[in-house]
Structure 1
């Protein structure tokens, strides 16, 4: 494929998926967050879509087309760079809508990791835009657009929005919430157990897929005490699925030791360095694709701090595009 085709065709697929996710998410926000229950029958129409089953989550969080809010956050992290790129390639005023939709959906998803990672991706994109004088006006227009949308939300239901912002800020205090938030206790407890397995097997680990067998004897009392998640899932022998490690890096330390961990770190380092090299030596669609890869990989690598699976397709899509970019005109990392 030509680089232009890679950029526009893949982005179009993500754009259409975002339209569906945004429509679903809009009704879900109105029903679950603002309490417009009369719209629930309209939301239930999405049950006719394949692989979708409409469900309302507690606490006003939304998951849109995904199974749960954390998985919806992974989807948003994956497409964020692609949606931000519209600002660089399009001339019409609607070019700000895809990026704005990603930010709003991330906010209402309630995912703490999603909020932090997408905000970090936004900072990377803002830095890219600010470095180019021609594009600096886009950054200013984006800020104005965000303020307009936020103002409209305040007019619509100001108290609810202010409370929501306050709750999101408080939720980002992971350490402060450790005593009160069972989800945080479980995640940190399982990661702690993985590190204990690594301490016992530091060189080569205990082998792929063996983490759960070894970490179950290392669950800390501060995580398991009065924690229904461990009783219901992680220590329940009737649950067939293995307890997750909630962190790919601690999982690799436990299963492959320092050897496997360093291999992954090397992959991350060289992929990011190669992306920066391609950015410096390219223009046009090639440079835009390089920006997207940088934003996507940066966010997805951070997201691996809270999920322990390699099955994050955005990573491998980005690496495949990076290989295509690197082979174009034989750009070599000297």
Structure 2
């Protein structure tokens, strides 16, 4: 059994390594295209084959998720008469409901699997960091090719297009015909710069953590600098906002280390690298300014349209909640109802005209999982969803009480990463954003290990 557990541990490690991929087309046999999904799925099959008769570790996160899961099922069953037979843009409401239900079942099984395996893992924080670091190495390879493609280097363009056929199911066809339009910035192994912003915002505190607290990590500070450079050339609003906020928070968390020569040198290198790459290139400087002004009256037309689309769809979700405050409209049903709840000003965006066109095959989401939960599962579902998030924060605060003073900042950086993982739910409206679930599971595992009298660092 020890060999099986070691194998299952490796599948979790591989899931973290592949977490940056969100559209692997070569593995279409799996339900979702996310890189971590198929590695975790294989691990789940092995886990439940060998350990199906074992008792489940009932953590507070597991309890919270079960309550949310049961309410979603209940509210959806009540809404079934309105779901069955409903279609929009060629999509069937009951089919989308089943797919979303499968995603929630997958997360439930993932919580069970990850909890048991991680409970028996020693040096768990450094282990997670190593997996994240390998993941970032892969991201850097993609980022380098994308950067060369942005410079119109022919061989880089060809490599970029070929990799999109394999690693990006969402945008692959668009890239083949008009790749210049979609190489808008570095996206690493994710589907677009915005998704890259979510990914980098979660791993950035871990890169800092590895640099400051883990031994034999000479390359760590260079990874931090490269992360900043990738963010600059992503031209992503999400990446710019989250990383800027993180840097300010990290400076506050580590304020006692500011006069430490190592920390000071790292900070100077990061700031210098960022300023150099912005100031010395007029085109980069202009794009950076456009990102920071994207919510102002001088924003570029496409960014203004994007802002209107995102905000109006979230307003539609809130209006949907007001019309169905207790039960919501049912799991996966936002896309079938949003045209009836859009505000009048939403139609200023050409994207919204596409969103409501029944002849266009693109089904739009709410761009915010939290408000989607409110619309689809009502106020009770939303409270139960927020309850899971709060449990994660409470777990990490509990852990803080039991670590040495010189290691408290390490846990604070993980809390920052956990907080930033919520941006994955704000930018998109998917339930299965990997890093959030990894970190909320990790929080409960650390608490259980402390209560068992085991070391966590």
Which bin holds the TM-score, normalised by the shorter protein?
0.7 to 0.9
Consecutive unaligned residues in structure 2, runs of 5 or more = 1-117
What is the match of residue 143 of structure 1?
A: 267
Does the aligned pair in 2 maintain the 1:130–1:136 contact within 8 Å?
no
Structure 1 counterpart of 2:153, from 37, 40, 53: 37
Judged with a 3 Å threshold, the aligned counterparts in structure 2 of structure 1 residues 148 and 215 are, in CA distance, closer, same or farther, namely closer
Question: C-alpha deviations, 1:200-258, integer Å up to 9, x for none?
Answer: 11222222222222222122231123x332333x1232445532011112111111111
What is the match of residue 248 of structure 2?
A: 123
Structure 1 residue 287 displacement after superposition = 5.1
Distance in 2, Cα, partners of 1:152 & 1:258: 48
What is the match of residue 318 of structure 2?
A: 195
Distance in 2, Cα, partners of 1:56 & 1:105: 19
Question: C-alpha deviations, 1:41-83, integer Å up to 9, x for none?
Answer: 5744973995366755547422221121122222212322221
What is the match of residue 307 of structure 2?
A: 184
Structure 2 counterpart of 1:75, from 161, 180, 199: 199
What is the match of residue 212 of structure 1?
A: 335
Structure 1 residue 17 displacement after superposition = 2.2
Does the aligned pair in 1 maintain the 2:211–2:217 contact within 8 Å?
no
Question: Secondary structure of the residue that 1:8 maps to in structure 2?
Answer: helix
Normalized against structure 1, the TM-score is what? 0.83
- Residue 329 in 1 paired to residue 454 in 2? no
How many residue pairs were aligned? 325
Consecutive unaligned residues in structure 1, runs of 5 or more = none
Does the aligned pair in 1 maintain the 2:185–2:234 contact within 8 Å?
yes
Question: C-alpha deviations, 1:156-183, integer Å up to 9, x for none?
Answer: x432343233223212x26874987111
Question: C-alpha deviations, 1:116-163, integer Å up to 9, x for none?
Answer: 122223333322222457x844442222102332354368x4323432
Distance in 2, Cα, partners of 1:43 & 1:178: 30
What is the match of residue 8 of structure 1?
A: 126
Judged with a 3 Å threshold, the aligned counterparts in structure 2 of structure 1 residues 288 and 4 are, in CA distance, closer, same or farther, namely farther
Does the aligned pair in 1 maintain the 2:232–2:274 contact within 8 Å?
no
Distance in 2, Cα, partners of 1:309 & 1:269: 19
Distance in 1, Cα, partners of 2:296 & 2:414: 29
Does the aligned pair in 2 maintain the 1:278–1:326 contact within 8 Å?
yes
Distance in 2, Cα, partners of 1:169 & 1:11: 31
Counting only pairs closer than 5 Å after superposition, residues 88-167 of structure 1 correspond to structure 2 as 88=212, 89-90=214-215, 93-131=218-256, 136-150=260-274, 152-153=276-277, 157-167=280-290
Distance in 2, Cα, partners of 1:161 & 1:94: 27
Structure 1 residue 282 displacement after superposition = 1.1
- Residue 247 in 1 paired to residue 368 in 2? yes
Q: Does 1 or 2 have the higher relative contact order (CA < 8 Å, sep 6+)?
A: 2
Distance in 2, Cα, partners of 1:331 & 1:201: 44
Distance in 1, Cα, partners of 2:237 & 2:140: 19
- Residue 259 in 1 paired to residue 380 in 2? yes
What is the match of residue 85 of structure 1?
A: 209
Does the aligned pair in 1 maintain the 2:399–2:450 contact within 8 Å?
no
Does the aligned pair in 2 maintain the 1:113–1:303 contact within 8 Å?
no
Distance in 2, Cα, partners of 1:151 & 1:197: 45
Question: Secondary structure of the residue that 1:304 maps to in structure 2?
Answer: helix
Does the aligned pair in 2 maintain the 1:246–1:307 contact within 8 Å?
yes
Judged with a 3 Å threshold, the aligned counterparts in structure 2 of structure 1 residues 92 and 312 are, in CA distance, closer, same or farther, namely closer
Does the aligned pair in 2 maintain the 1:121–1:298 contact within 8 Å?
no
Question: C-alpha deviations, 1:4-59, integer Å up to 9, x for none?
Answer: 54223332222222122213212322431xx3434525744973995366755547
Normalized against structure 2, the TM-score is what? 0.63
